[in-house]
């Protein structure tokens, strides 16, 4: 395999900083132990916020349609976006008309605080994942730090929407919800400690998740097998194929035939693969399992692509969808960029539970 390029070497330290923290959360070594006292501050804050909502000091807003929240208890990306895509598809297959609300992480501070995302909204204003969700699902998407306000805007502009899927809103208690999908990946809960000593955003739940007084919840594992003691189902994911960047922007589906052609070409010369995600190694491993020979280029999560991170004259590059939303085809010159999307699906039992739970929660229009 060829040695890494200068661009790869420049990107590696930045991406490596996050990787070192993720590795520290896997065990209870010196760094995690040094941060452990601060995790009790986090625990106290979480407990106080939940208590304030229970006694009514802080209020949750209930919107006029059922709300599903897809989130995780761990920091660092566990696969929420594939789970949101799978949930939207499952709901559409059962006759629902979903919309999506999201915070829109790392949005431009000068963008409107609440924004309806369209297919031509810049990623810097929408956020990477919300624009990706809009392009992939073609359902209404609204972003805002206040998810309830984002939901109100979406429903006002798209009154036919009859269910909202909230991307990464598990800890956003201001938005009342009727069902939750809790996503874990191969890391499980890491060392079991709260931030910043470990990956947990809040303590793990104890006892059954579906009991009176709790929001109905199901667990999804974006991993080969369960990684916590909580019972759950595997999120079914895999490469959908490959599409040229221009075709992907036009909404054309990825092609298994094109993926097979890339596999053949990579055997002659490994292809550069770029990933600006929380866990780029997951993308690279998936490419290798598909038979691709690659030169990995890990980039920081939410990498902005202000400049192209690969050498001028690079003939071809493989991209995640999260990277593709920040790269218009005309920027790439002679480099041929290929997007390799993920397909994801819920198992039948989870999809049926989701439909039944939200149907019970559906409220008639006032």
For residue 344, what is the enclosing H or E element? strand 342-345
Quote the DSSP letter at residue 124.
H
Q: Is 77 annotated as a binding residue?
A: yes
User: CA-to-CA distance for 346 and 132, rounded, in angstroms?
Assistant: 19
Cα(250)–Cα(256) distance, rounded to whole angstroms?
A: 18
Q: Taking phi first (over 0 means left), then psi (-120 to 50 degrees means alpha), and beta for anything else, what does residue 291 get?
A: left
Q: Which of 106, 260, 232 is nearest to 168 (CA)?
A: 106
To the question of whether residue 76 is assigned a binding role by annotation, the answer is yes
Residue in this structure with the two tokens 């790392």, named with its chain if needed: 106
Q: Spell out the alpha helix ranges (H) of the chain.
A: 6-24, 30-55, 80-93, 123-126, 128-137, 147-157, 245-249, 256-268, 280-289, 321-324, 348-361
Cα 156 from Cα 184, distance rounded (Å): 33
Q: Is 79 known to sit in a ligand binding site?
A: yes
CA dist., res. 290 & res. 352, Å (int): 31
User: Are the CB atoms for 156 and 63 separated by under 8 Å?
Assistant: no
The answer to whether 71 and 175 are in contact (CB under 8 A) is no
DSSP assignment letter at 329 = G
CA nearest neighbour of 88 among 159, 181, 208: 181
> Is 78 assigned a ligand-binding role in the annotation?
yes
CA 111, CA 113: separation in Å to the nearest integer? 6
**Binding annotation for ATP:** 74-81
Annotated binding site: 74-81
């Amino acid at each position: 395999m060829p040695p890494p390029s200068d661009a790869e070497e420049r990107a590696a330290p930045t991406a490596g900083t996050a990787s070192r923290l993720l590795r520290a959360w896997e065990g209870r070594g010196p760094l995690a132990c040094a941060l452990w006292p601060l995790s009790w501050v986090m625990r106290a804050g979480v407990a106080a916020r939940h208590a304030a909502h229970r006694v009514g000091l802080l209020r949750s807003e209930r919107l006029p349609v059922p709300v599903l929240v897809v989130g995780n208890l761990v920091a660092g990306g566990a696969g929420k976006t594939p789970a949101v895509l799978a949930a939207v598809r499952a709901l559409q297959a059962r006759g629902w008309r979903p919309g999506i609300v999201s915070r829109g992480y790392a949005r431009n501070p000068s963008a409107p605080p609440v924004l309806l995302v369209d297919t031509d909204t810049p990623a810097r204003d929408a956020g990477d994942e919300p624009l990706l969700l809009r392009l992939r699902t073609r359902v209404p998407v609204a972003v805002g730090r206040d998810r309830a306000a984002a939901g109100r805007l979406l429903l006002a502009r798209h009154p036919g929407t009859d269910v909202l899927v909230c991307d990464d809103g598990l800890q956003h208690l201001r938005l009342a919800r009727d069902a939750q999908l809790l996503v874990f990946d191969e890391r499980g809960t890491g060392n079991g400690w709260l931030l910043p000593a470990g990956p947990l955003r809040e303590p793990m739940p104890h006892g059954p998740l579906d009991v009176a007084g709790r929001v109905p919840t199901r667990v999804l594992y974006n991993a080969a097998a369960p990684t916590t003691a909580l019972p759950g189902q595997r999120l079914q994911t895999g490469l959908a194929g490959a599409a040229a960047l221009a075709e992907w922007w036009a909404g054309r589906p990825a092609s298994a035939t094109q993926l097979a052609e890339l596999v053949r070409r990579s055997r002659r010369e490994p292809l550069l693969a770029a990933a600006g995600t929380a866990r780029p190694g997951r993308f690279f491993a998936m490419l290798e399992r598909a038979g691709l020979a690659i030169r990995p280029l890990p980039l920081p999560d939410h990498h902005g692509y202000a400049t192209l991170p690969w050498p001028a004259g690079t003939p071809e590059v493989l991209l995640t969808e999260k990277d593709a939303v920040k790269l218009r085809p005309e920027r790439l010159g002679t480099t041929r960029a290929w997007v390799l999307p993920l397909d994801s699906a819920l198992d039948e039992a989870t999809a049926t539970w989701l439909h039944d739970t939200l149907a019970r929660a559906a409220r008639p229009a006032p």
